[in-house]
Structure 1
Amino acid sequence: MKVLLTGGTGFIGRELLKHLTTHEVVLLTRNPRQAKTTLSHTDMGNVSYISSLDGFHHLNDFDAVINLAGEPIAERRWTKKQKKIICDSRWKLTETLVELIHASTTPPSVFISGSAVGYYGDQQNHPFDESLQVNNQDFPHYVCSQWEQIANRARSDMTRVCILRTGFVLAPEGGALKKMLPPYRFGFGGPLGSGRQYIPWIHMLDMVRGIIYLMQTTHAHGEFNFSAPHPVTNLLFSQTLAKTLKRPHILRTPKWIMSLAMGESSVLLFDSIRAKPKKLTELGFHFSYSRIEPALKNLLQHHE
């Protein structure tokens, strides 16, 4: 397949490219030269690089579009300026892709576009799947709901749309786990706040395998929770991480400290999201890592 990929130099995109070596990939990136250097160990000669879509009037030549681009949501405090950057980086590119799909006479057969479990907001300890209807004013929901609405406009008889409501993707090279490892290795690990909030986690391998599964499963469409079948509380996650690293688990970080440090974005740590990947499993996708302990052991043993 010929695939147009955005966000290919990002946390998930870099790993996804390792699994797309049998496909022809066109990577949209702001800096092709830097991207070639970053991806030098991943590019098997099947990747070409473009810096803009300005020269495109349609996407007739592509079989699939995978849209993972977006400003990291947890890197900086959510100032008014940062919120606009987060929104624009997702919405504007997605709008352009949708317009090009509509302008195509033979459009890509599938458009896979990012979102996040932040769409759901705090659901306390209640388990739920993709059928849950949510309408709140929280910033993560606002970002994701608008992003999904834009992406879904690409849907037609010729193009199916799959939305990735992604959880906490676990890999030692990036994301939340990379930030957690140093304090835990020094024995300073512990739960955040009460620790009762649920974490919808997913192993990186299952993340990229799931994307490819949706790309190749021709009847797949709609919203998909990209999180393991067994979400865990922050306390259990913290205990398991400390146990895997053979470190003590004695410290607890009060919620007020994180709220002071992160401001509004601390909801990413304290919203309880017990999301279940019902639609993925009903499609027949099998998770390589459905339980947190084997997932962390695999990731950390490989990393060490």
Structure 2
Amino acid sequence: MGSISPDAKLPWIKTPCVLSPQLSRVAGCNIYLKLDLLQPSGSFKSRGIGNLMLHAVAANPDVHFYCVSGGNAGLACASSAAALCKPATIVIPVTTSEMFKNKLLDLGARVFQVGKNLTAADLYLRENLLAKDPRGVYVPPFDHPHIWDGAATIIGELRDQLDVPIDGIVCSVGGGGLFNGLMQGIESFRWSGRKPHVVTVETAGADSLNASILANAHVTLPEITSIVTSLGVSRVSEETWKWSQAPNTQNVVVSDADAAVSCVRFADDARLVVEISCGAALATVYRGDLRERLGKGLTDAQWAEKNIVMIVCGGSGVSLRTLDQYREEYGPLTTIKV
């Protein structure tokens, strides 16, 4: 793909990173929130998918983007296409909500709703749309180097924004595009002290990275049983499996209830609304995992000086009504109090 002009308009933005007194009090250390829910698409995927699409336009301005998605990748493709003034077609399964479909239409995307799942929708896109369009460019959700490069921009921003050592970074992981970018970004800089430790978080039933770590092999989950569909990837990327073996990484698995109720707590604490995939990472604060994983052996005073960045990855699959349902249905099923 072609090179990008320094004057090119980027389809993502530099997002704020703010200290959260509320989450810091709960965790017992300094918790910073990297607010990627403020990206144009509503999630961090604007970075990676936007970067891939930017490279495609640099190589050939006459393009039409195609993406299969039941969630945030589709929104990132549609919003990036709008920013680049290029057409986009998104194919969504029949199970996709009207709310999500309308968001795509609002962004100017052409939308086809076919297939009972993403596999069927992807087959339709490839055989009936992409194969017939010589201008067509396929936009994958997470497994591409340009996507990882886009996610890596988070690290450069954090180094510019924070004047304290970054001891840890916490992110949710599905296919692994965000995690790959974070690790790649960390490796691209020199650090005055230890490299930041990266904690990846999954929900039980969508924990394909954890399954690989336990098996000491890159494995595929037989099925996804978690309600967190945005993290529901049965096999992480090969790059994710490789990065997970780095010494500065750890993996945590939380329950659907933990992730759901963390979204409710976060709305109360931070006055921000995020979907349940983001709640998985936030659950490590509310459950106490951070102290156990990153502060073991430290005194309270030593732990209080640590600086942890939560990647608030965002997501579109949430509403105030959703949070009310989470509180009622999952509140009794977790130790996290609301």
The question of a shared fold, defined as TM-score above 0.5 by the shorter chain, is answered with: no
TM-score normalised according to structure 1 size: 0.33
TM-score normalised according to structure 2 size: 0.30
Structure with the largest fraction of helix: 2
